[in-house]
Structure formats: structure tokens, C-alpha cells
Amino acid sequence: MRTRRLGQFSVSESGFGIMSFASAYGVVPDGAESIRVIRGAHGPGLTLFDAAEHYGPWTNEGLVGEALPLARDRLAVATKLGWNIDPEPGELWPGLDSRLDHVSALPMRC
């Protein structure tokens, strides 16, 4: 697969959006199936995954980490963040919050 430079990283030209693995489209797919699909996308060399903290919220980045634990140093997860999300119910509130202290406290794990 062809790659491009993204700052100091080399990533696949094609990226894989993982929005559909959260509740964004209604029903959350089976975790094992989501992991199988992520591994299948990575198999031919895909290294760029597109996420956002409000997918889930805060779940899809961890799903990539769970699916590809041995490839972490060769992956890029582009996460759109700065949303104003209530951490308890995970509900999106109006407005944005991209202050450093907010972003640093996000519960996302890869």
C-alpha cells in the first residue's frame, strides 16, 4: 500500500473510518466483528484510522488498540476531539472545548 508523510510519521494513503463501530448509526456492532474488520483493513497495509472522541463516546480508539496491540508503533489514529461531552452519560453538550486541560483529561485509550 502506498504511504505518505504525515508530519514525522509515514501512514497509508488510504484511511479507514471507524465511526460505524460505535452507536453513531444506531445499533452498536458486535465487538468481535469490529475487531475482525479492523484487522482485515490493517492486513494489506492500512495504518491510518479515523476516529472522533464522540463516537461511542471514547470507544473506537480503544477498539483499534485492542484489535492491533502489536502494531501500535506502526499505526496512526486521527482523532477529532474538543467536543463538549458530559463524561458520565457520554452525552454531547452544545459547544466545543479544546482547552489543553480538557483534552489532556480525555478518557480515550489506544
Q: How many domains are there within the chain? A: 1
Instruction: List, for residues 48-66, the tens digit of each pLDDT value.
Output: 999 888 787 778 888 999 9
Instruction: List, for residues 5-43, the tens digit of each pLDDT value.
Output: 988 889 999 999 998 888 777 788 888 999 999 999 999
CB 3 within 8 A of CB 12: yes
Cell triple for residue 5? 508523510
Q: Residue 109 falls within a domain, yes or no?
A: no
Whats the size of the chain, residue-wise? 110
Instruction: List, for residues 57-100, the tens digit of each pLDDT value.
Output: 778 888 999 999 999 888 998 888 888 777 676 677 777 888 88
Say which CATH number the domain at 64 has. 3.20.20.100
Catalytic-role residue among 21, 49, 55, 58: 55
Per the annotation, the verdict on 55 as an active-site residue is yes
Of 48, 51, 47, 4, the closest CA to residue 24 belongs to: 51
Give the domain extent around 51.
3-104
